[in-house]
Amino acid sequence: MSASIEVEITDPHEFHCFRLVLNPLAPPEPYCATHGKDLCDGTGPSCVVMPPRIEIMLHARTLVELIYRCSTALCEWQRATTTHLICERTGLSEEEARAAGLIA
């Protein structure tokens, strides 16, 4: 499990509202990890700007939609990556690999 994502039910009696937190350990606004939040505006050449904490409230239907869309994007990425790797390894073009039945 990634420590950069938290999901919790906001009401233990109603299991239809969720709070999604990205970067839960970060402050609510971007900050410079190199020089510290109070010493730097994050614009210097040696600055490492950390992303802010982001909180999103979601209804169960919206959470399911988010999971579905992320899964769809992951499947598309996997398809594209697999297609690229098959073509690279075999030396075939995408059309040739498709004709040979290597990719759908």
Its pTM surpasses 0.85:
no
Query: What single string gives the DSSP state of each residue in the chain?
Result: --TTEEEEEEETTEEEEEEEEESTTS-SS-EETTT-TTT--S-STT--EEPPPEEEEEEHHHHHHHHHHHHHHHHHHHHHHHHHHHHHHH---HHHHHHTTS--
Ordered per-residue pLDDT tens for the chain, 104 residues? 678 888 888 877 877 889 989 888 877 776 777 766 666 666 777 777 777 888 999 998 898 999 999 999 999 999 888 888 888 899 999 899 889 988 87
For residue 1, what pLDDT is reported?
A: 65
